[in-house]
């Protein structure tokens, strides 16, 4: 009997899962449900949700294999399309960065190509757009999906359900006048007036918000000397954007490094796995020691400069940020950008940066095994250096920020550890209190990126009521359990009942519910990994040989005779 697979969501995770599912030797009936009107793109790359000025920070060479590579697909597009998206044909390379919406168009084309190829493999793939799945109800060995489709309500039974809802942001981000809990959809920001605009965050999500606002009230142009300039239009004369974060630092510019990653010498996956096997006590400190040794071997000069020998997992970040957090962030950004451009031209890799990059995913595999106390220390003191290193941004993004700053339209503030954001009692916007100073903003945008969601946020009540999805807990050093947000899944992305027993045939490769133990899984490469893991699990189960009862009974009947013989 053909098995039925439901995939809720149609972004990158779903696309990579689908690409592998249609290779299954057993024929499958696959249904994909997308709540928006265009499937096969994903929230971070959907038109309308994202502005053309928002850049993706992954080049073609880093996108896992799909039928056609991103840069090859772009090279096939018409001059009209390239003009519309502002990409010169001569600038298409495997290491260039493109607008998010372009990556979305690319994903849609690959989605369609995979579906077309599925027909030759005897699979059926049905795509439902504007389709909201309201509940997932366990029914014996199957799951009943309760849906709101364009033509009305519907129900259907499936053997496997994949909850690939990816990133989750409010559809109406303006929760009070002038206060936005997310910078998406970008169209929501088109209503804001010029004035004092506060943006919480300094990462790529915050840069997205800055660019949406900046292109609404002005334009970027290049001078004869090639320097990028920003000028406001008649409606933007009062524009004053302030980005803010705890340290008040801008992300660094994308740096050159070999792809695929080279193998670490000391902080290897095997070394980390071996340490995990010894138990959670002291795990974080031992993992840091592997990391410290890796960094010392990779870049002795850098290690000496930051005093690596005397650092611990709790003090490394202070040394890592070092002089940088004492410098003017825009001066540092200009200097770092110039260095990154030189290194790209010379194809030079900064050893210490690369050592951090190639170990971050390996170290992440240990996070889920840490006790609650070590997990807290990791999140407070160590996690940010990896995010800072791998979440570098396109050079154009830094150039735009510098142009905005030179025009007098952009500043940055360090919030420190003692600040408060207040929106209550205001007609519009918010105030930010830092010590004895109060800053007043006409518009305030929280652009800190995807928040960790927990079991109660899952929009499928029956799964929660039946105890199939529960809030994750982490054991403390003394044996108690502490809630850490998110949900626990096994290595096949199946939710764990009471943190122990996996739910068969149900998969939750949804980033927002996994961040508590997988802090670095927000990119396309992670989406591919999650999709491929889920597909492999489903294929293994669908194609597993089933022995008949007669065979099993015969085997049991013969056993005594075999023993006697």
Pairing of strands 443-446, 196-200: parallel
- Tokens standing for 36? 């928006």
- Is the pLDDT at 450 greater than 80, yes or no? no
- Residue 537 has φ and ψ, to the nearest 5°, of -65, -45
Q: If you search the block for the tokens 């209550």, which residue do you land on? A: 424
Does 150 score more than 50 pLDDT? yes
Q: Buried (b) or exposed (e) across 358-369, using 16+ Cβ within 10 A?
A: bbbbbbbebbbb
Angle, helices 351-367/383-390, rounded to nearest 10 degrees = 130
| pLDDT for 273 | 98
Q: Which of 99, 412, 20 is nearest to 249 (CA)?
A: 412
Lowest mean pLDDT among 164-168, 287-291, 299-303, 457-461: 164-168
The mean pLDDT value for 97-122 works out to: 94
Query: Which letter does DSSP use for residue 262 in this model?
Result: P
Q: Name the percent of the chain lying above pLDDT 70.
A: 95
199 pLDDT exceeds 80? yes
Contact 391, 216 (CB under 8 A): no
Please compute the mean of the pLDDT values over residues 412-430 and round it to a whole number: 93
CA distance 501 to 482: 19
More confident call, 225 vs 536: 536
DSSP secondary structure code for residue 268 in this structure: -
Does position 436 have pLDDT exceeding 90, yes or no?
no
Token pair 């982490």 in the structure block, residue: 474
Residue 220 makes CB contacts below 8 A (sequence gap 6+) with 214, 228, 229, 230, 400, 403
Mean pLDDT in residue range 63-71: 96
Check pLDDT > 80 for residue 364: yes
Q: Provide the pLDDT for residue 558.
A: 35
Torsion of CA 473, 477, 480, 485, to 10 degrees: -20
CA atoms within 13 A on the CB side of 30: 32
CA–CA dist 362, 364 (Å, integer): 5
Structure confidence by residue, pLDDT tens digits, 201-252: 999 999 999 999 999 999 999 988 889 999 999 999 999 999 999 999 999 9
CB 338 within 8 A of CB 448: no
**Own/partner pairs, 116-119, CB within 8 angstroms, 24+ separation:** 117/22, 117/67, 118/18, 118/22, 118/30
Structure tokens at 354: 């690369």
Residue pair 88/75 in contact (Cβ under 8 Å)? The answer is: no
Distance separating the N- and C-terminal Cα atoms of the chain: 40
What is the share, in percent, of the chain residues with pLDDT greater than 90?
A: 79
Q: Using CA atoms, how far apart are residues 414 and 245, in angstroms rounded to an integer?
A: 6
Q: What is the pLDDT of residue 478?
A: 63
Tokens of 538: 């489903």
Q: What is the per-residue pLDDT for 565?
A: 28
Contact 395, 163 (CB under 8 A): no
Mean pLDDT computed over 87-113: 96
Q: What is the Cα–Cα distance from 60 to 514, expressed in whole angstroms? A: 26
pLDDT at residue 455 above 70? yes
Q: Is the pLDDT of residue 564 over 50?
A: no
* Local structure of 358: helix, strand or coil: helix
Which carries the bigger pLDDT value, residue 519 or residue 142?
142
Instruction: Identify which has the larger pLDDT, 239 or 455.
Output: 239
Q: In the predicted model, is pLDDT for residue 556 greater than 60?
A: no
Q: Strand, helix or coil at 323?
A: helix
Closest by CA to 381, choosing from 308, 306, 316, is: 316
Give just the sign of the alpha carbon dihedral 111, 461, 503, 497: positive
Whose tokens are 């990154």? That residue is 340
pLDDT at 557 over 60: no
Average pLDDT over residues 181-186: 90
CB atoms within 10 A of CB 242: 17
Residue 547: pLDDT band (50, 70, 90) is low
Q: Is 444 left (phi over 0), alpha (psi -120 to 50) or beta?
A: beta
User: Can you give the pTM of this predicted structure?
Assistant: 0.91
Q: What is the pLDDT of residue 132?
A: 95
pLDDT the model gives residue 440? 97
> Given pLDDT bands bounded at 50, 70 and 90, which one contains residue 479?
low
More confident residue, 402 or 454: 402
Domains annotated on the chain, with CATH: 3-47+103-168+452-542 (3.50.50.60), 174-251+395-446 (3.50.50.60), 269-390 (no CATH)
Would the pLDDT of 154 be above 70?
yes
Mean pLDDT taken over the chain:
92
Closest residue by Cα to residue 145 from 462, 496, 503: 462
Other Cβ atoms closer than 10 A to 229? 14
Task: Please report the pLDDT score of residue 12 as a whole number.
Answer: 96
Q: What's 52's DSSP letter?
A: T
Please give the pLDDT value at position 62. 94
Contact by Cβ (8 Å): 392, 57:
yes
Q: Which residue has the higher pLDDT, 128 or 516?
A: 128
Q: Which residues on neighbouring strands pair with residue 393, listed in sequence order?
A: 253
Q: How far apart are CA 134 and CA 128, in angstroms?
A: 14
Q: Tens of pLDDT along 291-339?
A: 999 999 999 999 999 999 999 999 999 999 998 988 999 999 999 999 9
Close Cβ partners of 106 (under 8 Å, ≥ 6 residues apart): 70, 73, 74
385-420 residue pLDDT tens: 999 999 999 999 999 999 999 999 999 999 998 899
8 Å CB contact between 425 and 431: no
Q: Which two tokens stand for residue 390?
A: 């791998």
**Is the confidence at residue 183, as pLDDT, over 80?**
yes
SS3 229: strand
Q: Rounded to 5 degrees, what are φ and ψ at 21?
A: -60, -40
Identify the residue whose tokens are 């249904």: 31
> Residue 480's pLDDT band (boundaries 50, 70, 90)?
low
pLDDT classification of 272: cutoffs 50, 70, 90? very high
What pLDDT, in 10s, does the model give residues 483-504?
Answer: 777 898 999 999 999 778 999 9
Reading phi first (left if > 0) and then psi (alpha if -120 to 50, else beta), residue 122 is in: left
């Amino acid at each position: 009997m053909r098995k039925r697979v439901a995939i809720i969501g149609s972004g990158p995770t779903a696309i990579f899962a689908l690409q592998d599912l249609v290779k299954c030797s057993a024929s499958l009936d696959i249904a994909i449900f997308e709540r928006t009107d265009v499937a096969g793109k994903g929230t971070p790359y959907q038109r309308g949700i994202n502005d053309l000025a928002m850049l993706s920070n992954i080049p073609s060479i880093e996108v896992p294999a799909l039928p056609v590579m991103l840069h090859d697909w772009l090279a096939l597009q018409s001059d009209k399309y390239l003009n519309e998206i502002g990409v010169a044909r001569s600038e298409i390379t495997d290491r260039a960065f493109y607008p998010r919406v372009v990556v979305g168009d690319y994903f849609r084309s690959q989605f369609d190509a995979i579906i077309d190829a599925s027909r030759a493999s005897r699979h059926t793939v049905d795509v439902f757009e504007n389709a909201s799945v309201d509940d997932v109800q366990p029914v014996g060995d199957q799951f009943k999906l309760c849906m709101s489709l364009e033509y009305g309500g519907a129900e259907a039974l499936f053997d496997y359900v994949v909850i690939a809802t990816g990133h989750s942001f409010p559809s109406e981000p303006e929760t009070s006048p002038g206060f936005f809990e997310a910078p998406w959809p970008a169209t929501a920001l088109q209503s804001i007036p010029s004035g004092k605009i506060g943006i919480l965050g300094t990462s790529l999500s915050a840069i997205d918000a800055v660019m949406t606002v900046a292109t609404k009230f002005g334009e970027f142009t290049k001078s004869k000397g090639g320097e990028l300039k920003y000028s406001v239009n008649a409606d933007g004369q009062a524009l004053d954007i302030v980005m803010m974060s705890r340290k008040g630092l801008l992300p660094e510019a994308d740096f050159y490094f070999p792809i695929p990653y080279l193998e670490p010498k000391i902080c290897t996956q095997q070394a980390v796995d071996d340490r995990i096997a010894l138990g959670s006590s002291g795990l974080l400190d031992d993992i840091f020691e592997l990391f410290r040794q890796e960094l010392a071997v990779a870049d002795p000069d850098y290690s000496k400069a930051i005093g690596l020998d005397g650092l611990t997992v709790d003090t490394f970040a202070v040394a890592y940020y070092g002089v940088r957090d004492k410098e003017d962030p825009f001066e540092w950004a200009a200097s770092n950008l110039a260095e990154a451009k030189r290194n790209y031209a010379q194809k030079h890799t900064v050893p210490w940066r690369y050592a951090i990059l190639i170990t971050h995913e390996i170290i992440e595999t240990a996070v889920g095994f840490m006790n609650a106390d070590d997990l807290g220390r990791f999140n407070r003191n160590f996690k940010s250096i990896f995010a800072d290193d791998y979440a570098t941004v396109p050079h154009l993004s830094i150039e735009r920020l510098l142009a905005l700053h030179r025009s007098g339209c952009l500043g940055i503030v360090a919030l420190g550890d003692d600040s408060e954001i207040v929106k209550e009692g205001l007609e519009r916007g918010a105030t930010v209190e830092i010590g004895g100073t109060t800053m007043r903003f006409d518009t305030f945008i929280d652009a800190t990126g995807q928040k960790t969601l927990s079991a109660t946020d899952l929009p499928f009540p029956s799964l929660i009521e039946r105890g199939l999805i529960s809030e994750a807990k982490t054991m403390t050093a003394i044996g108690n359990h502490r809630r850490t947000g998110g949900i626990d899944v096994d290595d096949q992305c199946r939710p764990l009942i009471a943190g122990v027993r996996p739910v068969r045939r149900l998969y939750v490769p949804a980033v927002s519910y996994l961040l508590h133990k997988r802090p670095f899984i927000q990119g396309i490469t992670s989406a591919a990994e999650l999709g491929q893991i889920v597909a492999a699990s489903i294929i293994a189960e669908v194609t597993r040989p089933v022995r008949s009862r007669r065979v099993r009974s015969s085997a049991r009947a013969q056993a005594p005779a075999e023993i006697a013989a």
